[in-house]
A and B are shown apart, each in its own frame.
Chain A
Amino acid sequence: MPRISVTVDGIRYDEEVEPRLLLVHFLRDRLGKTGTPIGCDTSNCGACTVLLDGRSAKSCSVLAVQADGCDIVTIEGLAAGESWHPMQKAFHEEHALQCGYCTPGMIMAAIDLLHDDPDPSEEDIREGLEGNLCRCTGYCTIVRAVRRAAREMSQEQEGAAAS
């Protein structure tokens, strides 16, 4: 069986995996990283989105062996201790989640969206999150949350630059 070495939420794992094992099953079933859920089997819903070397990836569409050597961040590794990432805070503040099942993927995808465009318009956000489905919110509050996080993150950056 192939052996892979990956870092997930700051911890290095060396594991033997079946070549066909999906990254999302590796995360959930092998490493117990159950914060990342699975919502579909056709890569449409985006619930399983993680950051793979800093960019969003649907972990149901990546084989664990393809992640060999990669640095992976899941929803569980996003907060610094009890201090939430601005995107997590914004989702809470704007009531951008109800059942919360799509939320991990939505948050990871939104972080990647701001990576490309730190100040997206409402339309940009809607287009940018097209690959992540939510059945509860109707998306308006998610759009609001991403804008709030964008504001906060740019202020943080300005603050960091000024100090």
Chain B
Amino acid sequence: MTEQLDAGVVARQIKESDLLGGPGGGNEVGRARRRKEDARLVTGRTQWTDNIQLPGLLHVAFLRSPMAHARITRVDTSVARTQPGVVAVFSGADFAAEQGSLPCAWPVSEDIVIPDHPPMAVTEVRYAGEAVACVVATDRYKAADALDAIEIDYEPLDAVTDMTAALEDDSPKVHESGNKAFTWTFAQGDIDAAFRDAPVRVDRTYVQQRLIPSAMEPRAVVAQTDGDSFTLHSATQIPHILRVMLALTTGIPEHKLRVIAPDVGGGFGSKLQVTAEEVLCLLITRRLGKPVKWTESRSEGNLTVHHGRDQLQRISVAADADGRVRGVKVDLLADMGAYLMLVTPGVPLLGAFMYSGIYKMDAYDFTCTGVFTTKMPTDAYRGAGRPEATFAIERIMDELAAELGMDPIELRRRNWIGHTEFPYTTICGLTYDSGNYEAATDRALALFGYDKLRAEQADRRERDDPVQLGIGVSTYTEMCGLAPSRVLGSLSYGAGGWEHASVRVLPTGKVEVVTGTSPHGQGHETAWSQIVADALGVPFEDVAVIHGDTSSSHKGMDTYGSRSLVVGGVAVVQACEKVKEKAKQVAAHLMEASPDDVEFSRGEFRVRGTGTSRTIQEVALATFAAHDLPDGFEPRLDADATFDPDNFSFPHGTHLCAVEVDTETGATRIRSYVAVDDVGNVVNPLIVEGQVHGGIAQGIAQALFEEAVHDADGNLLTTTMADYLLPSAADLPAYTTDRTETPATTNPLGVKGVGEAGTIASTPAVVNAIVDALRPYGVRDVPMPCTPERVWRALGPARTTKSTDGGLS
């Protein structure tokens, strides 16, 4: 095993060529630059929100509902108020007049029900963990101690834990209005014709289990006020959106509220939220006039950081006898949890357009029903809707291949969009700008040794080896780079999808880039420096990237949906173009030439056909001095740009997974994993590889390990990292990764999003492999996570059947 893993390590090393220049024509874009961010991160000089100490800082601890659904009948905080170090105790009633309702920015349909969502429950709790009271004390231990002295009486109400049952007429209700939040439909083509008389039809139901995003840094908030204005530090992905939404929620005027996302330890969508704790910390600091801090414990976070996935997917595919797909039908139930949070109802819509995957077909029909349950709300988690959709289509393509007795790769070849057919408008109405599924697949097959593994699989089947080999295929694409504002508007999203950048050339020629993206591990400080270094011809080291503070970065849409480079990076490019144009005017003036005769290359303005030149640094100093500028020239080289993309970004790739499944124990082991991704041009291959690796790991984790489990009363059973299985290094394999590069045609960098690709691709690859291993036993599905027990149970009856046939026993 070690030998194979080692081979993977070698294959994944950054190539020497990656250390040289890239497709941008400069020296930096395309280069595997080590990250600027690392220096503070590997030495512990970090600025996590919980690090913040302020004079007079008070600590907040929240009391949380122990029941999934109950009426609050009595609250007594009097004893808690007398505990040592306790400054204040609040219950929901104390905030009722001012706390507003946590926002939902994505009312997906006209008839959507958006229930009131008080940050602190006042009369009723609807999920276990909902905040019901809080203590503010002089240190975190005393605050936690005093929680025990708060008395709350509850009148239990029936929990609603199952989506299907929740939609029955006699179900207990989560909200007065019932348990249905919305129904959203989409259809293209004649779906009845596609299914009528179809030679082959496959129907499946897949469960996307509920996941807990589990960023390593727990959430933390520090709020302070000088009596007039407010500053909120938060471990958030979205300082800009948060500022707007908090202003709207709390009534603090937007210009009196500064939001700072300092170093943020991962997000994966979980910190794309306006949280109860952020609102409440602002209200508490407004009430007390003192700075307050709240840092969650992990078990508190497992309960109350929004969860991900949790969908029930009924999917059908109709095909011709030769495997050509005629149509796909999807009927989806999506668990909203107890309330609609920032983009809760929009998550399944982000998947709605991806069920056709990379395939051509005649018709598509999609229905989604959002369902309330008495659980923590769901919302964006890495991929948000697209992993679910990709799982369903890639799983059912393997099922269809099995039905037809066809190799799953061959079936895909017969249906995918050929590389000469781009741009291609899919049945879902998206226009994929570019791609080459043939190239990525061929490369993946070669790296994987597909034929050899198939031969080994046949051999193991032949000799009834108790350890069977399975091969899983996932040829994915996804829509990311959120997003064209007009499209978001047409989907009823509450905001746009543009991104902003400012580029400032300082007197000494150093450059500051202010970005509206908000990195929390993605390496924007490095990648944006590379882009600017090439665009302006300045050294990589001379660029500083400023982000994450609404007072220094006043405008932005933040980081999620694999948008930062394809939207925010392009804004940086556009701002640099404007800077160059200004600098050219000054340079031409200094050289007494017409701007038309001046060309720019690698940081130098040169009069065409002469030896006369000025560096951009010389131009910067001359502009600063402003002694001799063109008439009417505004003395600055700064520029900004706001980029709104015309289209989404469509990365794609082929992931292949080989698993060994022990049919006696149900244990699975990933034998090899090959990923060939096409994310267009690459700014930094090191960062891209890191994103792909981490994405694959999270997708594998959904396939094999992770599940948020509730009991019948709606209590979360997986509240700690001891119960919710995040994979460690020992649980995961090495990956062999490679890239094909088909540039995007929709942005000047030719780049595509990469942040979510691995997660979207890997889950179906793994489950397809497990099912492939067990197909001779009649197994057609194993519910996720495919634990040894579940594999063993899936196998149990099938093995018996098989053995009575005189086959395997």
Interface residues of A (CB under 8 A from B): 18, 20-21, 25, 28-29, 32-42, 44-45, 47, 74-76, 78-79, 84, 88, 91-93, 95, 97-104, 107, 121-123, 125-127, 129-144
A21 nearest CB neighbor, chain B only:
B141
**B35 and A95 contact, CB distance less than 8 A:** yes
Q: Tell me which of A76, A123, A132 contacts B5 (CB under 8 A).
A: A123
B418 close to chain A: CB less than 8 A: no
**B38 and A97 contact, CB distance less than 8 A:** yes
B729 close to chain A: CB less than 8 A: yes
**B265 and A37 contact, CB distance less than 8 A:** yes
Chain A residues whose CB sits within 8 angstroms of the CB of B139 once the complex forms: 29
B13 nearest CB neighbor, chain A only:
A144
Chain A residues whose CB sits within 8 angstroms of the CB of B298 once the complex forms: 39-42, 45
B687 nearest CB neighbor, chain A only:
A95
* Bound CA–CA A36/B48 (angstroms): 10
Sample of 29 A–B contacts (CB below 8 Å): A21-B141, A29-B53, A29-B139, A34-B46, A35-B43, A37-B46, A37-B217, A42-B722, A45-B216, A45-B721, A75-B42, A75-B44, A95-B34, A99-B266, A100-B46, A100-B263, A104-B44, A122-B5, A123-B2, A126-B732, A129-B729, A132-B728, A133-B726, A135-B726, A136-B694, A138-B693, A138-B695, A138-B697, A140-B734
* Bound CA–CA A83/B12 (angstroms): 29
Count of chain B residues near A, Cβ 8 A: 65
Cβ proximity bits B1-44 to A, threshold 8 Å, 1 near / 0 not: 11001101100100000000000000000000011011111111
Q: Tell me which of B41, B48, B214, B735 contacts A138 (CB under 8 A).
A: B735
Stretch at the interface among B194-202, B515-523, B614-622, B629-637: B515-523
**B218 and A38 contact, CB distance less than 8 A:** yes
**B520 and A99 contact, CB distance less than 8 A:** yes
**B43 and A91 contact, CB distance less than 8 A:** no
Interface residues of B in 34-73 (CB under 8 A from A): 34-35, 37-46, 48, 50-51, 53
**B2 and A121 contact, CB distance less than 8 A:** yes
SS class of chain A's interface: helix, strand, loop or mixed? loop
Chain B residues whose CB sits within 8 angstroms of the CB of A134 once the complex forms: 216, 729
A85 nearest CB neighbor, chain B only:
B42
B686 close to chain A: CB less than 8 A: yes
* Bound CA–CA A123/B733 (angstroms): 10
**B721 and A137 contact, CB distance less than 8 A:** no
**A36 and B299 contact, CB distance less than 8 A:** no
**A126 and B722 contact, CB distance less than 8 A:** no
Q: Tell me which of B12, B39, B215 contacts A135 (CB under 8 A).
A: B215
**A138 and B266 contact, CB distance less than 8 A:** no
Q: Tell me which of A47, A88, A139 contacts B216 (CB under 8 A).
A: A47
Looking at the assembled complex, report how far the CB atom of B109 sits from the nearest CB atom of chain A, in whole angstroms: 34
**B722 and A44 contact, CB distance less than 8 A:** yes
Cβ proximity bits B732-745 to A, threshold 8 Å, 1 near / 0 not: 10110000000000
Chain B residues whose CB sits within 8 angstroms of the CB of A28 once the complex forms: 50-51
* Bound CA–CA A144/B215 (angstroms): 23
**B689 and A39 contact, CB distance less than 8 A:** no
* Bound CA–CA A103/B39 (angstroms): 12
Looking at the assembled complex, report how far the CB atom of B449 sits from the nearest CB atom of chain A, in whole angstroms: 20
**B690 and A136 contact, CB distance less than 8 A:** yes
**B41 and A100 contact, CB distance less than 8 A:** yes
Chain B residues whose CB sits within 8 angstroms of the CB of A123 once the complex forms: 1-2, 5
- With contacts A42-B722, A98-B521 taken as known, whether A125 is within 8 angstroms of B265 at the C-beta atoms is no
Chain B residues whose CB sits within 8 angstroms of the CB of A45 once the complex forms: 216, 298, 721, 726
Chain A residues whose CB sits within 8 angstroms of the CB of B521 once the complex forms: 98-100, 136
B730 close to chain A: CB less than 8 A: yes
Chain A residues whose CB sits within 8 angstroms of the CB of B38 once the complex forms: 91-92, 97, 100
Looking at the assembled complex, report how far the CB atom of A47 sits from the nearest CB atom of chain B, in whole angstroms: 6
* Bound CA–CA A93/B295 (angstroms): 32
**A36 and B693 contact, CB distance less than 8 A:** no
* Bound CA–CA A122/B1 (angstroms): 10
Looking at the assembled complex, report how far the CB atom of B381 sits from the nearest CB atom of chain A, in whole angstroms: 12
- With contacts A45-B721, A100-B263 taken as known, whether A84 is within 8 angstroms of B42 at the C-beta atoms is yes
* Bound CA–CA A45/B41 (angstroms): 17
* Bound CA–CA A20/B214 (angstroms): 27
Chain B residues whose CB sits within 8 angstroms of the CB of A79 once the complex forms: 43
Looking at the assembled complex, report how far the CB atom of B291 sits from the nearest CB atom of chain A, in whole angstroms: 15
Q: Tell me which of A33, A35, A78, A98 contacts B266 (CB under 8 A).
A: A98
**B43 and A84 contact, CB distance less than 8 A:** yes
